[in-house]
């Protein structure tokens, strides 16, 4: 998607060998109108597939997921990284080990927000090693719901996320695919 590629080229900052900082429009400050355009494009890509809910992982996936859900006209559900003390209801959980952030967490979803008739689209900001997305896939499958696909704003194609998902039969849509960072410059 050219709109996103241009924004990354103009405002993204490459950190080290493999991290793209996009705090100015995705991860810290959000360009809301721009995010809405991304959500609309995401919804158009997946529309007509009988999607009943959009799932995301807190917190950076929430903004794109909200707008995707708006244009698909379905609810959006946030998978929690920590079981809230207020979650007195029954939950589905799966452990996610994040090599990117060097931590692990229990991805948690209250059982009342998923059923075996749901067909779910997973939306996140980045696809890197695919740990977060495969965690979401495991959680959804535990609940015997089905998965329409994974949609991300930015895929780092030099990392194995897509391969991990596609090898499980999950289709992936990325609005920008980064081939590599050469001398601190993004190449699509």
In the complex, minimum distance from the CB of residue 143 to ligand 5GP, in angstroms, rounded to a whole number? 20
Structure tokens given for 175:
């609005």
Region from 40-48, 106-114, 127-135, 141-149 binding ligand 5GP, contact rule CB under 6 A: 127-135
Contact 20, 14 (CB under 8 A): yes
Contact flag: residue 155 with ligand 5GP (CB under 6 A): no
Please report where in the chains the tokens 């719901």 appear, as a residue: 145
Which of 39, 125, 137, 172 is in the footprint of ligand 5GP by CB under 6 A? 125
Binding string to ligand 5GP for residues 61 to 80, with x set by CB under 6 A, is what?
Answer: --------------------
Contact flag: residue 124 with ligand 5GP (CB under 6 A): yes
Please provide the DSSP assignment of 138-176 as one string: HHHHHTT-EEEEEEEEEEETTSSHHHHHHTTT--EEEEE
For residue 26, the tally of other CB atoms under 10 A from its CB is: 27
Contact flag: residue 19 with ligand 5GP (CB under 6 A): yes
Beta-bridged to residue 57, according to DSSP, are: 79
Contact flag: residue 55 with ligand 5GP (CB under 6 A): no
Structure tokens given for 128:
């890197």
Query: Residue numbers of the site for ligand 5GP (CB under 6 A)?
Result: 19-22, 27, 60, 98, 100, 124-133, 156, 161
């Amino acid at each position: 998607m050219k709109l996103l590629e241009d924004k990354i080229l103009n405002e993204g900052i490459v950190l080290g060998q493999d991290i793209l900082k996009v705090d100015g429009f995705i991860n810290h400050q959000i360009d809301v109108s721009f995010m809405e355009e991304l959500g609309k494009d995401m919804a158009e890509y997946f529309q007509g597939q009988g999607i009943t809910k959009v799932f995301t992982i807190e917190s950076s996936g929430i903004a794109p997921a909200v707008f995707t859900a708006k244009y698909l006209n379905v609810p959006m559900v946030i998978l929690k990284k920590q079981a809230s003390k207020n979650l007195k209801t029954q939950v589905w959980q799966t452990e996610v080990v994040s090599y990117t952030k060097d931590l692990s967490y229990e991805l948690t979803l209250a059982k009342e927000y998923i059923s075996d008739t749901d067909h779910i689209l997973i939306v996140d900001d980045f696809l890197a090693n695919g740990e977060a997305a495969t965690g979401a896939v495991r959680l959804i499958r535990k609940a015997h719901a089905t998965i329409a696909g994974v949609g991300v704003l930015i895929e780092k194609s030099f990392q194995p996320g897509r391969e991990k998902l596609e090898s499980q039969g999950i289709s992936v849509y990325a609005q920008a695919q980064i081939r590599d960072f050469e001398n601190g410059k993004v190449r699509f």
